[in-house]
Amino acid sequence: MNFVFQTSGLAACHAYVIDSFSEFQKYLTHEGKPVDSGDLLERVETMLENHITLWEEKKTDLSITAFGHFVPELKKHGVRYILIRPTLENVKETIKETIKRMGINNINLQRIISYAEIMRTNKLSSEDVAQCLSITVRGANRILNKIEEKKYVQTVFEKRDNSKGRPKKYYELLFLDEEGHKSEVTRG
């Protein structure tokens, strides 16, 4: 996949052909708040905030984003923007990088996502994940704790089905919507 990135100087306009999204990111502005939080949703919100702030401070003439859910807010603030749709190769690269950061096996992640989609929820217990992956609850806890350390899940306690006793621990998968489908954030 190639990106064309243009910059203009006093006398000339330069175009670069870039082979990967990771390489493209090196050319992005470092103005605005740092986008280095471990929390995926916080990083996305900071990116949107940066788009708007840079526009309002007249530090940019145009914002380029792949996040469709940014569009209403950008329009509201009068930001000129281009909405890009990543290629399948770009999406695969992003997923690979995310899985690598999570530190779990791609097949296990795909099985967890499929299970959540079938169950129509983004909140799974250790028992749910153990059943889904055909492993012990202890093994499921290790996987979920690893993902939680990277801030891709958060722990919630809920009572379900009018059960008695204390609420049960669930892991809310932040990269899925409430129905267990991939959220806009992960679709890019």
d(CA 162, CA 167): 10
180 CB contacts (<8 Å, ≥6 apart)?
A: 113, 116, 117, 118, 119, 120, 121, 122
Return the CATH number of the domain spanning residue range 103-187. 1.10.10.10
The answer, yes or no, to whether residue 166 has pLDDT greater than 60, is: yes
Taking the domains of the chain in order of start, what are their residue ranges?
A: 3-88, 103-187
Query: pLDDT, tens digit, for every residue of 14-72?
Result: 344 445 555 555 545 455 555 555 566 777 788 888 888 888 888 777 788 877 888 89
User: Nearest 5°: CA angle at 69, between 108 and 174?
Assistant: 30
**114-122: Cβ within 8 A, 24+ apart:** 116/173, 116/176, 116/180, 117/176, 117/179, 117/180, 117/181, 118/180, 119/180, 120/179, 120/180, 121/178, 121/179, 121/180, 122/172, 122/173, 122/174, 122/176, 122/177, 122/178, 122/179, 122/180
pLDDT band for position 188 (cuts 50, 70, 90):
very low
Choose between 128 and 7: higher pLDDT.
128
The answer, yes or no, to whether residue 164 has pLDDT greater than 70, is: yes
Query: pLDDT, tens digit, for every residue of 113-154?
Result: 888 888 888 899 999 999 999 999 999 999 998 888 888 888
How many Cα atoms are found within 13 Å in the side-chain-facing hemisphere of 17?
2
Contact 172, 112 (CB under 8 A): no
